[in-house]
Amino acid sequence: MSVPAMFLHGMLADPFAWDEALMRRYDIHGPNYASYPTKRAFQNDIGEVDYQRALARSNDSGRPLSLYVHLPFCRKACHHCASIRTITKATRITEPYLSRLDREMVLVRSHLDTRREVTQLHWGGGTPTFFSLDQMSDLIDRLDARFGLSSSRERDYSIEIDPREADVFTLRHLQALGFNRLSLGVQDLDPKVQRAINRVQPRVLTETLLDEADRLGFRSLNLDLIYGLPFQTRDSFAATLEQVIAMAPARLSIFNYAHMPSRFISQRRIRREDLPGPEEKLAILRNSLVMLTEAGYVHIGMGHFARPGDSLAIAQRKGTLQHGFQGYSSHGRCDLVGLGVSAISHVDGVYAQNPDSLGAYEAALDASHLATARGICQTFDDRIRHHAIERLICDMQLDLSQLGEMFGIDAPRYLADTLARLQAPERDGLLTWQGDILVATPIGRLLIRQLAMAFDARLPRHPDSPHPEISNELDQWTR
């Protein structure tokens, strides 16, 4: 499908105050702040007992629960993938994994008041649809038996779908199990790009699932795209995006590919010379922003877009948007319980992560222990900065007066180090001040991650530079 000529010639009104030199200057990798402190700060001295105590303390809050289940198996290795997953065609290994998940549920449940509502549930991977329909039913039954799943219309129960591993019968089954949101991995619709990342996925697979999900009445559908993949150009990605816009998903996520072959073995199959250069990647980003804005999508932040009537956009307008390991959420704050290999929990100020190794995870549960391998306890300072970062990346602004009232501090004085680091971005036009309210400008919204980094007291910095000295490793949720 051809890209409209007026788009190719840049005749559309650009809704963003684009400054390529400024974008290049701030083009540094950094955390996505799914947590604070971020995963790079997690320590090995946080273990099972710390997590058990946090679970018990959390009952006094009465907060609802959010359950994340990591299902790590995939039949094929996508070369670009940075997720924690196990590549196998041997479906027999799924039953032992389900048994260990159930053992973990039992151990967690013994410390929780299970009258607390499970308002959120998310299955990620890997490929959750690697499991058979009967196994998915079994897993839902186990979750319901251990925690009591919600039947409320307001629940947010989502699952990640690989269109190559699902069909219309899968969607009907997932709806019967109680899921009401779907996230489909697409990455790119260009066959050349698909072959380069070992993910050949004809457009018809995605379209068929979207049509069926719409017919079944799923509340919201999200499509995941990635820019910066091999052989992508501004024109080729625009062609993909035009086709995706025609499918009219309620939500879109466009992630920036981070090439880290030294860390992720599968990425060694991608040649660096086949990747688009920095100039081309910025052009892809700018074109995408223009196209999606013209199509009526709202830029929520950090590569996430939604229709104005979607719950994410509504929550952002109301100031109730949240952000965590599953991205942006319209639900109120919950205690997060992570289940499965590499899963992370956040309960009563404690982050607790299971081991990345399937063997280590299995061994802990076989010994009737929770598999907590690392984590961190938030300090008072961490909680302040966590709240400030979350409000900034959700609301695109931060009210220091409200922050001070919430934590009983003189916020401008307490955050003097942060305000000093924000002087350069302010001079560059990334933010303005309206009294005590920091407001991200249009281009500042595109660089909201970099603004948030100013609040991060744990990033190493050169004494004479506002920018942190961090490696090219994005601190991302391994999905």
Which one, of 458, 437, 349, 325, lies nearest residue 392 by Cα? 437
Distance, in Å, from the CA atom of 459 to the CA atom of 472, rounded to the nearest integer, reads 13
pLDDT at 283 (0 to 100): 94
Asked if the structure places residue 25 within a domain, the reply is no
State how many domains the chain has: 2
Asked if the structure places residue 459 within a domain, the reply is yes
pLDDT at 378 (0 to 100): 98
pLDDT at 6 (0 to 100): 32
Pairing label, strands 350-353, 73-74: unpaired
Q: Are residues 312 and 438 in the same domain?
A: no
Which CATH number fits the domain that encloses residue 142? 3.80.30.20
Distant-in-sequence, close-in-space partners of 172: CB < 8 Å, separation ≥ 6: 212, 216
Domain ends where: 286, 303, 337? 337
Residue 466 has pLDDT above 60, yes or no: no
| Domain interval for residue 402 | 379-471
Q: Are residues 313 and 387 in the same domain?
A: no
Asked if the structure places residue 18 within a domain, the reply is no
| Reported confidence tier of residue 474, pLDDT bands at 50, 70, 90 | very low
**How do residues 44-68 score in pLDDT, each as one tens digit?**
999 999 999 999 999 999 999 999 9
Q: At what angle do helices 168-177 and 203-216 cross, to 10 degrees?
A: 40
**How do residues 289-304 score in pLDDT, each as one tens digit?**
999 999 999 999 999 9
pLDDT at 20 (0 to 100): 86
Q: Are residues 308 and 415 in the same domain?
A: no
Give pTM, 2 decimals.
0.91
Domain ends where: 337, 368, 400? 337
| Reported confidence tier of residue 15, pLDDT bands at 50, 70, 90 | low
| Reported confidence tier of residue 440, pLDDT bands at 50, 70, 90 | very high
Mean pLDDT of 269-282: 94
Which CATH number fits the domain that encloses residue 434? 1.10.10.920
**How do residues 32-47 score in pLDDT, each as one tens digit?**
999 999 999 999 999 9
Domain ends where: 303, 321, 337? 337
Q: Are residues 41 and 170 in the same domain?
A: yes
Average pLDDT across the chain, whole number: 91
Distance, in Å, from the CA atom of 396 to the CA atom of 471, rounded to the nearest integer, reads 26
pLDDT at 89 (0 to 100): 86
Residue 471 has pLDDT above 50, yes or no: no
Q: Are residues 324 and 403 in the same domain?
A: no
Which one, of 343, 341, 336, 344, lies nearest residue 365 by Cα? 341
Asked if the structure places residue 403 within a domain, the reply is yes
Which one, of 245, 234, 178, lies nearest residue 210 by Cα? 245
Asked if the structure places residue 13 within a domain, the reply is no
Q: Are residues 287 and 411 in the same domain?
A: no
- Judge whether 477 and 83 are in contact, CB under 8 Å: no
Mean pLDDT of 214-237: 95
| Reported confidence tier of residue 12, pLDDT bands at 50, 70, 90 | very low
Distance, in Å, from the CA atom of 428 to the CA atom of 451, rounded to the nearest integer, reads 12
Distant-in-sequence, close-in-space partners of 140: CB < 8 Å, separation ≥ 6: 149, 177, 178
Residue 210 has pLDDT above 60, yes or no: yes
Mean pLDDT of 382-395: 98
Distance, in Å, from the CA atom of 164 to the CA atom of 8, rounded to the nearest integer, reads 32
Percent over 70 (pLDDT), the chain:
92
- What is the distance of C-alpha 284 from the center of its chain? 21
Asked if the structure places residue 354 within a domain, the reply is no
Asked if the structure places residue 357 within a domain, the reply is no
Higher-pLDDT residue of 90 and 113 is 113
